[in-house]
Amino acid sequence: MDVTKILADLRQEREQLEEAILSLERLARGRGKRRGRPPAWMVETKKRGRPPGSKNKNTAAAKSAIPPKTATAAA
């Protein structure tokens, strides 16, 4: 067992941990509202709208519930 090699490895790990901690602290602090276009990976995770299987399921029921407009109602 080489003690100096173990110490060098541990110091290197400590430096990496300190860098990781600093990065996480900066992320936690935040900078308020971000400006500009978000990265592509973030846009893909925030897709909006209906889930894929729920498209237009109640269109017939919704159309029958809404009364049709008449010409006399507009006048």
DSSP structural state of residue 50: -
Size (the chain), residues: 75
Mean pLDDT for the stretch of residues 13-27: 93
CA–CA distances in Å: residue 11 to residues 4, 8, 68: 11, 5, 76
Q: What is the pLDDT, as a whole number, of residue 36? A: 82
User: Which sequence spans correspond to the domains of the chain?
Assistant: 1-30
- Measured in whole angstroms, the distance separating CA 52 from the mean position of its chain's CA atoms is 18
pLDDT at residue 4 tops 90: yes
| Percent of the chain clearing pLDDT 90 (strictly above) | 28
Radius of gyration of the chain (CA): 29
Q: Is the pTM of this model over 0.75?
A: no
pLDDT at residue 53 tops 90: no
